[in-house]
Amino acid sequence: MTVSVDGATTSAPAEPIQLLTPEGERIEHRDYPIDLDAAAIRDMYRDLVLVRRIDNEAIALQRQGELGLWASLLGQEAAQVGSGRALRPDDMAFPTYREHGVAWCRGINPIQLLGLYRGVNHGGWDPEEHKFHLYTIVIGAQTLHATGYAMGIQRDGADEAVIAYFGDGATSQGDVNEAFVWASVFNAPVVFFCQNNQWAISEPLERQTRIPLYQRAHGFGFPGVQVDGNDVLACYAVTKKAMQAAREGQGPTLIEAFTYRMGAHTTTDDPTRYRVASDVEAWKLKDPIERVRAYLVRSGQAEPDFFAEVDAEAEKLGVSVREACRTLPDPPPMDIFTNVYTQPHAIVEAEREQFAAYLDSFTDSFTDTAAGTAAGTAAGTSLADAEGGAR
């Protein structure tokens, strides 16, 4: 293809891979046959609904002051569940901070995601246990970690692959472009999964690129494919094929999942300042969950009872997430000093001792709560009081 001076493409980009239309019609694609039976598709529907429920609950918890922040995945459920379910248990995933749907597929307890956004830790899960790395907040940095991890797989001679998640904004980052170069020249088994939700906070896709993102892969020397990011079956099939190619030594693939960020960038954002409501309305018609529901109903693969059960399960999950979040204890203050280094570090140790002595100088002993396990939010409150009194 060629690009003219004003940036318009002179050859029409190919249509995104789609296996399920927004109306719920199943389309066969010769390159992407799928191996999912009715039960597996129902499971995916369930994943989509539960993930959206977690997201809704988290937004509400932020509004109630229980979370400091939340980055909603609304609209991107299919891209995340489709790609997440396409991974083998021993494949490794490197997420951004919005991959709650992938986290769900990798067996992460939602409360661990909420813990990060509540501020009790920076990421509480074991990345190797779940084969799901910690959330990375600096845009695009994780694509290099994914590529390095894939280079490790090559050296181990293992039958595994890596998937790196990022967004359209990240494609402008140097790290992402460096990751493309490295993965290409080393032929690393890594799949770059770009959820193009068309917005980098307030900046539209046009500020990041003049060509469709998937076409960039060609310049780096590996295949790029665009998939309907709101089609869970297409995201599943395309990811599965790319991961298999990576495992077989065919190197990286760039997948551009074309989707739309239905909500705000995060709970601190106000999208009414930079985009029109009619765009959002148009994308509501392409909802990733409704089309699966329509397909299951129309093809007779699910009874009304099934949908009622999923809804009831979602409600129950919402309640448990809410309760667990509200009772998440604040960490004890002395935790500040733990896990900075593997071996004792003279400066950190000295400051730890000084701070412990300082806390102990108050009537209420905070190091006692540090030693205990049931610190709870009460410790946080009394610490704030203590600091106020010290001024």
Partner 1 sequence: MTTLTLSRALNEGLRKALEDDPKVLIMGEDVGKLGGVFRVTDGLQKDFGEHRVVDTPLAESAIIGTAIGLALRGYRPVCEIQFDGFVFPAFDQIVSQLAKMRYRSLGKITLPVTVRIPCGGGIGAVEHHSESPEVLFAHVAGLRVVACANPSDAYTMIQQSVRSDDPVIFFEPKRRYWEKGEVDTAGPLAGAQPLDKARVVVEGTDVTLLGYGPSARSAIDAALAAREGGRSVEVIDLRTLAPLDMETIIASVRKTGRCVVVHEASVFAGLGAEIAARVTEACFYQLEAPVLRVGGFATPYPPSRLEEHYLPDLDRILDSVDRTFGY
Q: Would residue 265 show up in a list of annotated catalytic residues for this protein?
A: yes
Q: How far is the CB of 377 from partner 1 (least distance, A)?
A: 20
Give residue for tokens 């409501």.
277
Q: How far is the CB of 82 from partner 1 (least distance, A)?
A: 24
Amino acid identity, position 302: A
| Measured CA distances, 239 to 54, 128, 386 (Å) | 24, 21, 53
Beta carbon nearer to partner 1, 97 or 258: 97
Do the Cβ atoms of 167 and 194 come closer than 8 Å? yes
Strands 92-94 and 190-196: unpaired
Beta carbon nearer to partner 1, 294 or 348: 348
52, 100, 261, 293: the catalytic one is 261
Supply the angle between the helices 141-156 and 174-185 in degrees, to the nearest 10: 20
CA atoms within 13 A on the CB side of 363: 3
Q: How far is the CB of 351 from partner 1 (least distance, A)?
A: 10
Instruction: Give the whole-angstrom CA distance, residue 337 versus residue 355.
Output: 10
Do the Cβ atoms of 116 and 323 come closer than 8 Å? no
Beta carbon nearer to partner 1, 44 or 176: 176
Task: For the chain, report the end-to-end CA distance as a whole number of angstroms.
Answer: 66
Q: How far is the CB of 336 from partner 1 (least distance, A)?
A: 10
Residues in contact with 349: Cβ distance below 8 Å, sequence separation at least 6, in sequence order: none
Beta carbon nearer to partner 1, 53 or 130: 130
Q: How far is the CB of 108 from partner 1 (least distance, A)?
A: 13
| Measured CA distances, 38 to 48, 120, 295, 303, 375 (Å) | 15, 40, 11, 12, 47
216, 265, 291, 293: the catalytic one is 265
Do the Cβ atoms of 124 and 157 come closer than 8 Å? no
Q: Would residue 30 show up in a list of annotated catalytic residues for this protein?
A: no
Beta carbon nearer to partner 1, 182 or 258: 182
Instruction: Give the whole-angstrom CA distance, residue 18 versus residue 226.
Output: 9
274, 298, 341, 345: the catalytic one is 274
Binding site for partner 1 (CB under 8 A): 121-124, 126-128, 133-134, 136, 138, 141, 143-156, 174-175, 178-179, 181-182, 185, 338-343, 345-348
Q: Would residue 261 show up in a list of annotated catalytic residues for this protein?
A: yes
DSSP three-state, residue 12:
coil
Beta carbon nearer to partner 1, 58 or 179: 179
Do the Cβ atoms of 190 and 162 come closer than 8 Å? yes
Q: How far is the CB of 278 from partner 1 (least distance, A)?
A: 38
Q: Which residues are catalytic?
A: 261, 265, 274
